[in-house]
A and B are shown apart, each in its own frame.
Chain A
């Protein structure tokens, strides 16, 4: 049995397909989902990285901001207001955004820094 996963952002569907496992970070900590998981509705931590071990397409990594996850009958839906696949992230731009955000001190800048960090982590494939 495999999971049917879809990663959806507010503007479009980013990825969908079969996968063996999904790892994400919720507000309360890491969550790993395998086939047969009980139904869960969880809020994802801001600036988190999601890792999907897909069947056939290798590992899919994405940075998600302001999202949540629902699991029901081996159907996993990852929703995020803004989400980016690692392949589509421009590491240099994310680094520049991080440097810019760190030089300022405001709530918005801190949030921007978190987002940029998540993007960089997604590109590097590091998950923490």
Chain B
């Protein structure tokens, strides 16, 4: 076998091995998307009820609560939390989130705020560590299958910053950047302000129409205390929701990236096979012409 043919065959073998791996990763990711989607749906009754309760408590309490109102006259510092992946092989998933977080950071800095970063996922942490930027908090190792405890840990870190005095690095705003999962084919990077909560003013008629009139609750204990107790739950719930959405998006992004890798491998195998065939054909042609040439030479020598 000719040297060139051997090289082609070797490359075909290696591309085939890679294709097997990418295909397997694609299948794993597709099966996990469904599970992740079900978890998002399973969490929604809690979110709905919590948001309703908070709206009721917030609209009742007349005092300025840190949940709905800025802490001081001036905004000093903001926390930006963003959710990236632990592993690569997911196309632009992590870098899209990082880019959006960078844009948000620049925007906040432009408004004269100091920005602290809280990072979820190894990719984001590595990005910051490589550039030697300070990280206020980091959590890694669970982005593909987050558990509620993880959301609680992240929320605890963010709330600690919210409750700390401004002089000691406390923040008055919390933003979160994550990837929202629309469907298998569509995910979108979303920037959301957690604190202060975005209060939507709705007119009475509109409220009646949309059936969001809140009952006159009797609070136990007082409305402010209830609101205080709901604040950490609210932040934890939003972080939890962001983690679930991000996990589903990560699997979707990985599936897409691995699908195109598999397709590319197939394409490559096809063209390499063609080249190998050509090389084999050329070899045969050469051998025939050598034999014919040799026979000719023998015949003419007689």
Contacts and interface: CB of A to CB of B under 8 A. Distances in A.
28 contacts: A10-B148, A10-B151, A10-B236, A10-B240, A11-B43, A27-B221, A27-B225, A39-B215, A40-B217, A40-B218, A40-B219, A40-B220, A41-B226, A42-B219, A42-B220, A43-B221, A43-B229, A68-B230, A70-B52, A70-B56, A72-B215, A72-B217, A77-B49, A79-B50, A79-B53, A81-B233, A81-B236, A82-B148
B46 interface: yes
Contacts of A27: 220-221, 225, 229
B217 A28 contact: no
B148 A11 contact: yes
A125 interface: no
B49 A8 contact: yes
B216 A39 contact: yes
B110 interface: no
B220 A79 contact: no
Given A10-B240, A41-B226, A26 B218 contact: no
Interface of B: 39, 42-43, 45-46, 49-50, 52-53, 56-57, 148, 151-152, 215-221, 225-226, 229-230, 233, 236-237, 240
Nearest to A73: B215
Given A39-B217, A82-B148, A8 B53 contact: no
Chain A interface category by residue count: 20 to 34
B42 A81 contact: no
The A interface, classified by DSSP as helix, strand, loop or mixed, is: strand
Given A10-B240, A70-B53, A81 B221 contact: no
Interface string A66-79: 10101011000101
A68 B54 CA distance: 11
A4 interface: no
Contact of A10 (B215, B219, B221, B237): B237
Contacts of A31: 220
Contacts, number: 79
Contacts of A87: none
B134 to A, nearest CB: 28
Given A11-B148, A68-B226, A41 B49 contact: no
Contacts of A6: 45
Contacts of A43: 220-221, 225-226, 229
Contacts of A10: 43, 46, 148, 151, 236-237, 240
A41 B220 contact: yes
A90 interface: no
Tell me which of A9, A28, A43 has the highest count of chain B C-beta atoms within 10 A of its own C-beta: A43
B150 to A, nearest CB: 12
A81 B215 contact: no
A66 B233 contact: yes
B53 A41 contact: yes
Given A10-B240, A43-B225, A79 B46 contact: yes
Interface in A38-95: 38-43, 66, 68, 70, 72-73, 77, 79, 81-82
A79 B237 CA distance: 12
A40 B218 CA distance: 5
A100 interface: no
B300 to A, nearest CB: 90
A68 B215 contact: no
Given A68-B230, A81-B236, A41 B217 contact: yes
Please name the 9 residue pairs, one residue from A and one from B, whose CB atoms are nearest each other, closest first: A42-B220, A39-B215, A12-B42, A41-B217, A72-B215, A43-B229, A39-B217, A8-B45, A8-B46
Contacts of A102: none
